[in-house]
Each structure stands twice: as structure tokens, then as C-alpha cells.
Amino acid sequence: MKIAIVGCGSRHQMFRDAVLEDYADRHEIVALCDSNPHRLNEAAKIVSQPGTNGVATYLAADFDRLIAEQKPDTVVVATPDFLHADYIVRAFEAGCDVICEKPLTIDLSRLKMIVDAQARTGRQVKVTFNYRYSPARTQIKELISAGTIGTITAVDFRWHLDRVHGADYFRRWHRQKENSGGLLVHKSTHHFDLLNWWLASVPQEVLASGRRVFYRPETAVEMGLQDHGPRCADCPVASSCLFRLDLAADENLKRLYREAEHEDGYYRDLCVFDAEIGIEDTMQAHIRYASGATANYTLTAYSPWEGLEITFQGTKGEITHRHVEVHGVFGGVRAHADEDAITTTLHLAGEAPRQLEVPKAEGSHGGADPVMLGYIFNPEGMEPDRYGRASDHVAGAWSILTGIAANASIESGSLVHIPSMLNARGIRI
């Protein structure tokens, strides 16, 4: 398979390395594309193999020429979220399939573009929801599908972002909803996709609230950082700030972003306390599913630890799943959790609670990435997927619709009925 990668920031590296290191005998990267010439050249240095003439590179404005000249079978889209739809549609129209970083897109108008283009062309997009492939999350799917706790009636799902990972969304392009859809789309797409997959259902109604309570100027004042600058690199109080990001201290960030600034003026280290940030850091949603189940969902982006807590209520009992990814953040240092930080408890009615053995695997995201990449790049070499973990444009659409509806609910203060929202826009999924 001939592959072109669009977007050469940090997110493309997983796909690039998988092809170069694990699947080079099956696939070839024929082209790279990015809006930033420096970042494009840096990526090309890595992709180019010894003894070859290198890999073709194209600026974003020349994407159509890339397609015409290199004729890729598949386009990997790893650009900022708001650009996904444009590249997906153009790839479809050119006869290419697509592998897309999550989220599929960020709003209804762009979703309609993708859905209509897919129906027109018959091309396929795979959305990389790696959480589905984690052994621990797959175990939950197996328990629920087997009817272990009966019919699922209610779910409580809390996701905690710590003050390193969470803060990072407030210094990058993600900080504006027109770029990312906010965290309820960009980040929560993973979580809402898990709920859709676990419950084998889709959301119907959403009532949400959200606000920015931590990453704002008032917090900087409370921390004695009121004289902060617009970015960390030249901030007069950087040495006193626990949220400082030193791009020069990380070789990868330095190469991809610090040394690329002169090309387009994109700063990767903007202040997390800027007044003009346009996304929330505290969000809650109540979701009603077609199956009849309901879910309460909470996301915070300034927690002292990172991970998830989830409880499924069923007619025969409950399942509680907890994953502590990071124990805590102290002075900007993350203390990663050990292997025993994932627990799953099964409590059937009339019985004592039981701690289940949680399956583990090697690799990023709890062993999820190698499995997902295997199904993407070498499906013939993998066992048939009895869990239905592959995600197409339909799964991608439903994963963002909860977040899009939640954003609409926050803005209006009202319950949002998703089928009516889709009908009003002429979107058929």
C-alpha cells in the first residue's frame, strides 16, 4: 500500500514509525505534506531510507498535486482537527481511503461534508480509537457483551487530566474551539466512543454544563504570576511557574516546534492563563442512549492525578473500573503509575465483590497501539476481531456527536436532541 501522510507534527509519528519499523515489507510512505517547511523537512529526514532518493515532500497548498503525482492508496490525516474534513473529502474524491487521527472532525457542517463525500465515493476512513484496543477496555466490552451484569441501565464516567497533560491543551492550537471543538470534542471523543462501543448504542439526548475555572488570568494572580508574558520562552516569571514549558529542553519539541517558529509564527508554548482562551476546563454531561441507558460524564483538566473512574450499573450487578495513569503532579513532575494501577471489580447482586485479573500487554496506551496498528497495516496477520474494534466514519461521527451536542447545550442551557440536530442539518449517518 502506498501511503501519504498529511500533518508532520507529533501525532504523525505513530503511523510513520509503524510503517518504517514494523510494516516496511508491506507498505511504503510515498509522500509527506505539511504547512510548515521546517517541520516537513525534519519528517522527511526520518522517513528517507539510506540508499534511496528520499521521500517526496509537499507543502499543504500542493496537496492535490501530491495526490496526482504520487497516487497514494491511503492518506493518513494527522493535521489539526479543523482541517480533517477538508483532507478527508479531497482524498475521497481522488479515490483514496483515509486513516484519520481522532476526532473525525469538530462540527456539524464539516461532518456533513465527510458523510456526503463518503456516500458519493464509497471510500473508507478509519478513525484511530486506540482505547478500544487496550486489553483492559476490551475486557470491559467482553463482560458487558456477555450479559455478566445484565442490562446496563446507568454509567458514571469520570476522566481526570492532570496539570501537565491537561495544561498542554491550553497552550496549543486546541485552546480555541474553532480549531478543536473544545475538549468535549477533541479529548472526549475517545471517551464517548468507548461508551458507544461498550453499550452497543448511540446517544440521543445530551444536557451539559461547562466553564473555564482554572486556566484563566485570575489563577495566575493567585499564584503570583500576574506579570506573565504571552509565552513561556520569554516570560519574565517563567522561573516561578510550575506550568512552564521549555521547548528547548526537549529535543523532539525543539526540533518540531521551536526551530520551526520562523516559518509560520506558530508558538507551542503559549501561556495557559491567557484571557483569550476559548475552551472549558471543567465539563459535565448527562447522556441518554437509544438503548435506554443513561450516563453521567465528567472531565476536568487540572486534576492532581490522571486516569479514569467508571461504574456500570446493571440489572444483575455492577462493574467498577479504575485506571490511575499518573499518581500525581508535584512541581511539574509526573509520577507514572505502576502495573497494578488498573483495577476492575465485579459485584453481582447477592455476592461479595470480586477483583478481576486485568489483562496486560506491552506497548503504548496500555498495549493498545501495537494491536490497533496491526489491524490497520496487517489485518491478514491478525486474528478475526470478535470485538468489532475498527472505527469507520459512522463510529467517528457518533463519537463526536455527544461532544457537539454538549457544546450546544452549554451554549443554550437546554437539552439537545441529537436526531433532531442531525435532521435539521440534513445529515444521514
| pLDDT exceeds 80 at position 331 | no
Provide the pairing of β-strand 306-314 with 317-330.
antiparallel
> Tell me: the pLDDT tens digits for 238-252?
999 999 999 999 999
pLDDT of residue 231: 97
| pLDDT exceeds 90 at position 328 | no
| pLDDT exceeds 70 at position 14 | yes
| d(C-alpha 157, C-alpha 311), whole Å | 7
Comparing 336 with 133, the larger pLDDT belongs to 133
Contact indicator for 161, 187 with CB cutoff of 8 Å: yes
How many residues make up the chain in this entry?
Answer: 429
What is the mean pLDDT of the segment spanning 281-308?
Answer: 97
| pLDDT exceeds 80 at position 350 | yes
| d(C-alpha 153, C-alpha 289), whole Å | 10
Q: How confident is the model at residue 338 (pLDDT cuts 50, 70, 90)?
A: low
Contact indicator for 178, 82 with CB cutoff of 8 Å: yes
Q: How many percent of the chain have pLDDT more than 70?
A: 97
Contact indicator for 316, 157 with CB cutoff of 8 Å: no
> Tell me: the pLDDT tens digits for 73-106?
999 999 999 999 999 999 999 999 999 999 999 9
What is the mean pLDDT of the segment spanning 129-158?
Answer: 97
pLDDT of residue 51: 64
Assigned C-alpha cell, 145: 457483551
> Tell me: the pLDDT tens digits for 252-270?
999 999 999 999 999 999 9
| d(C-alpha 210, C-alpha 184), whole Å | 9
Q: What sign does the CA torsion over 276, 277, 278, 282 have?
A: negative
- E strand or H helix that includes residue 154: strand 152-162
Q: DSSP for 282-343?
A: EEEEEEEETTS-EEEEEEEEEESSEEEEEEEEESSEEEEEEEEEEEEEETTEEEE--GGGEE
AA letter at 412? S
Q: How many percent of the chain have pLDDT more than 90?
A: 92
Dmax of the chain from CA atoms? 69
CATH class of 2-130: alpha beta
Provide the pairing of β-strand 28-34 with 342-348.
unpaired
Q: How confident is the model at residue 343 (pLDDT cuts 50, 70, 90)?
A: very high
> Tell me: the pLDDT tens digits for 98-107?
999 999 999 9
Domain 134-214+277-359+392-425 fold is: Dihydrodipicolinate Reductase; domain 2 (3.30.360)
Domain chopping of the chain, boundaries = 2-130, 134-214+277-359+392-425, 222-264
